[in-house]
Amino acid sequence: QNEIYNAGLQGILPDYPVDFATLEARAHEALGPMMTNYVAGGCGDEHTQDTNARAFHHWGMIPRMMVDCSERDLSIELFGMTLPSPLFMAPIGLNGEATQDRHGDMAAARASAMTGVPLCVSTLGNDPMEDVFEACGDTPAFFQLYTPRNRELATSLIQRAEKSGAKAIVVTLDTWLTGWRPRDLNASNFPQLRGKVMQNYFTDPVFRSMLDKPPEEDPKAAIFLFAAIFGQVLTWEDMAFFKSVTDLPIVLKGICHAEDVKKAIDHGADAIYCSNHGGRQANGGIATIDLLGDVVEAAGDLPVLFDSGIRSGTDAVKALAMGARAVGVGRPYTYGLAIGGAEGAAWVLRSILAEADLLMAVNGYPSLAAVRGAGVRRTG
C-alpha cells in the first residue's frame, strides 16, 4: 500500500492529487458548474454536510508502541466473503455524468475491478446495471435500490441485480423524495440530465410494459412515469416484501438511531448502513461519525457499514476504530472519475487505502481488530 508514498519520496510524484482539497478543486473545474452543484451540493445551508466532514476532527486515536506492524491486514469479512480492504464505493446516482463520455458508471465499475473495492451500483445510473455489474469483473458488487411505488417493478430491479451477480441489496430509506437542495434549484439546466440517468428503469421489462410507447420513442412519457412512481414511503412492514423477493442480504441505508437498529434487527435486516446521505437529505442533523458508536453498540454482531464525510485514510481508520465493518467513499471517488475516469477513481481509492495502511503502521495497529480494539477518543 505504501507504493504511492514511497514513490513520491523518490521524486516520482503522482499525476493526481493526494489531498481532498486539491482533488475537489480540480474536480469542480472538470465537472463544470452544473455538475459541481449537483455533486458538491447538500440540503439547506449545507450545515449537516459540512459537519459530517468536520466532526472527524474531534475524534482521535492513541498510538501503541513495540507492536510488530511490518505487515498490516486490512481485509474484512462481509456477507460471507473475504474482501481485501474495508472500503467500498457508496452508491452515487448520475455518476455517469462525471466523465466526458457520460459513462461514469462503467468507469466506476472498472475502478472497482482495478482495486478490489466493491461498488454499490445506484438505481440512478446512465448505464444498465447488467453492463455495470459485468464491468466490475471479479470484485463483488452491491445494488442500491430506490424503491419505486410499483411492487412488480421493485421486484424486477432487485431480481435483475441478483441475476447480474450482486452480493447484497442496499435499500436506501432516507430518499423517497429529494431533500431541499437550493443548488438544484439554481442549476437551471439540471433537469436536462434526467432522461439519461434512468437507464435501469428504461431497460426494465416491467417499466416498459407500463408505457404506451418505448422510452426511445417517447422519452417525455417515460420520464413522467419515472417521476410519478419514483419514491415509495417505506415502513418496517415493507421488510417482509424485500425478504420475500430475494435471498440476498438486505442492507438498510440511512439508519442513524439505535432504536431503528433494534427494529431493523427485529425485521430481519442483514446489515445496517449508517449514513445521512452526505447531508443531501435532511439539514440540521448530527454528523454520522458522532452517531456511529451508538449504532454499532445497538447492532451487536450485525455488520455496520458507514459513510458521510470520509475524505481520507485517517477518516476511514477512525470509523473502523469506532466499529464500522466497512467504510463507504462517496464524493471523493466521483471527483476521481471527473479528473481521470476509472484511473482517477482508482487513484483516489488507492490513496485513501495507502494513507489508512500507513496510519495503521505508525499507530501500531497490525489488523482491523487492533484498530477496533484501540478505539477513538472524543477530544472536543
Contact 175, 275 (CB under 8 A): no
Contacts of 226 by beta carbon, 8 Å cutoff, 6+ apart: 194, 198, 201, 207
Of the ranges 127-135, 207-215, 236-244, 303-311, which one interacts with ligand FNR (CB under 6 A)?
303-311
Q: Is 140 in the site for ligand FNR (CB under 6 A)?
A: no
Q: Is 307 in the site for ligand FNR (CB under 6 A)?
A: yes
Of the ranges 90-98, 132-140, 211-219, 318-326, which one interacts with ligand FNR (CB under 6 A)?
90-98
103 is annotated as an active-site residue: no
- Interface with ligand FNR (CB under 6 A), residue total 22
Here the cell at position 116 is: 478490489
- How far, in Å, CA of 257 to CA of 45, rounded? 23
Q: Which of 28, 103, 257, 277 does the annotation list as catalytic?
A: 277
Nearest residue to 135 via CA among 168, 162, 113: 113
**DSSP bridge partners of 346:** none
- How far, in Å, CA of 266 to CA of 190, rounded? 40
Contact 215, 222 (CB under 8 A): yes
Query: What are the backbone angles phi and psi of residue 109, rounded to the nearest 5°?
Result: -65, -40
- How far, in Å, CA of 323 to CA of 368, rounded? 10
What's the closest the beta carbon of residue 234 comes to ligand FNR, in angstroms? 13
Which of 113, 124, 295, 368 touches ligand FNR by CB under 6 A?
124
Which of 26, 72, 167, 277 touches ligand FNR by CB under 6 A?
277
Q: Is 91 in the site for ligand FNR (CB under 6 A)?
A: yes
The H or E element that residue 59 is part of is strand 59-60
Q: Return the residues of window 69-88 that contact ligand FNR according to CB under 6 A.
A: none
Of the ranges 23-31, 132-140, 273-281, 336-344, which one interacts with ligand FNR (CB under 6 A)?
273-281
Which of 92, 248, 271, 353 touches ligand FNR by CB under 6 A?
92
Q: Is 39 in the site for ligand FNR (CB under 6 A)?
A: yes
In three-state secondary structure terms, 357 is helix
Which of 90, 113, 119, 198 touches ligand FNR by CB under 6 A?
90
Nearest residue to 292 via CA among 312, 272, 265: 272
Q: How many helices (H) and strands (E) does the chain have?
A: 16, 12
Q: Return the residues of window 336-375 that contact ligand FNR according to CB under 6 A.
A: none
Q: Which is nearer to ligand FNR, 55 or 298 (CB)?
A: 55
What's the closest the beta carbon of residue 129 comes to ligand FNR, in angstroms? 12
Q: Which is nearer to ligand FNR, 38 or 242 (CB)?
A: 38
Q: Build a one-symbol-per-residue string for 141-180: x at contacts with ligand FNR by CB under 6 A, - elsewhere.
A: ---x---------------------------x--------
Q: Which is nearer to ligand FNR, 83 or 120 (CB)?
A: 120
Contacts of 99 by beta carbon, 8 Å cutoff, 6+ apart: 107, 337, 338, 341
Q: How far is CA 365 from CA 40, 57, 75, in A?
A: 33, 20, 13
Active site residues: 277
Q: What is the binding site for ligand FNR (CB under 6 A)?
A: 38-39, 52, 90-93, 122, 124, 144, 172, 253, 275, 277-278, 280, 307-310, 330-331
